[in-house]
Amino acid sequence: MELLLLMLLIFAGQSSGNTEYGEAGNNINSFCSEAQYFAAIEQEISAREMQRARKLDQIANTGTAWQIAAAAGTGTYKQGHYTALADYAAAIYMQEKKKHEEAAAAAEKFKNAALRWAGIVSVLGAPSLQLFQLTGTPATQTDDHDATAQLTQKEAASAPCANIQADGKAAGTDKIELEKINTLRVSAASVLTAPIKTVSVKLQGCAAGGTSCTDGSGQVFAEGANGAGYFSLHASASSKTLKIPTATFNPTPYTQPEGVHTGKTQEKPNDCNNDDNEEEKIIPTDTILARYLCTARNKIAAVIPSM
């Protein structure tokens, strides 16, 4: 009897040439590239999980083949030989099936959280494309009192993250190397609280009745001896009417995050934090994402025996 069997190994080390973030993590420089990064990690986890499933199927198929060989064999020796092998394969299958289910559950947790985060950060660049335009002709303004202008949203050209590819690669076409991620490059959830930093409003002075509103050569607001804030009506502006042709939302600039260690320390990236007191949220925190990645990576990296 000759049986090729690899010892069950638990992934506990770093691959050669390790960097803190991995090559893909080093190239994150925008909300869109961060979104693609997490989409790519999710796909890599899925691919590894499928590899484990195929290996498990191979064990089951091998066991079935040995059962058939035992049933078809002639002689006590051959029948006993293949029956023993079939029983062994069944025992290994049940043992590895339980571990695979644990790995699949851990992978599913990370994948769900990663895709939620990718979806969230992919829209943070969208405000840069939001333009609002004045509806209709502005009313004549002859007295100093409040006036209401109706702004309507113009159709944006395209979403800023529309080019994200579901090809398992991060921005810059870098492939994800799970073993090289010691620190997960992920923004803190606080980036969601201030997606708009400023709103740029364009103002134009108008002729009486608001029938002619052009840029002209002067300024709508000017500064004099008494300070800033009075109207300076240029050649084509003979009333206090102002037109707002466009208003543009300017998002908060992207700052490349330092990220969160996947393990308890940078030196031990696979020694996962198991903080059961930190509940999962619809918007996953950076620490939850790092913890889920660490757990999923460890479990799917355990080698299933070959037969």
Block means of pLDDT (10 residues each) for the chain, length 307 residues? 32 44 84 90 92 91 90 77 90 90 93 92 71 60 56 65 74 81 90 75 61 52 53 52 69 85 89 75 90 93 75
Instruction: Say what the pLDDT of residue 10 is.
Output: 30
User: What does the domain layout of the chain look like in residue ranges?
Assistant: 22-125+164-187+261-301, 128-159+203-243
Contact between residue 266 and residue 77 where contact means Cβ atoms under 8 Å apart:
no
Q: How far apart are CA 150 and CA 246, in angstroms?
A: 11
Q: Measuring CA to CA, how many Å separate 214 from each of 10, 137, 236?
A: 71, 13, 7
Residues in the chain: 307
At residue 152, what are phi and psi to the nearest 5 degrees? -120, 145
Instruction: Say what the pLDDT of residue 58 is.
Output: 92
Q: How far apart are CA 168 and CA 175, in angstroms?
A: 7
Burial 230-265 (b: 16+ CB within 10 A, else e): ebebbebbebbbbbbeebbbebeebebbebbbbbee
Instruction: Say what the pLDDT of residue 108 is.
Output: 94
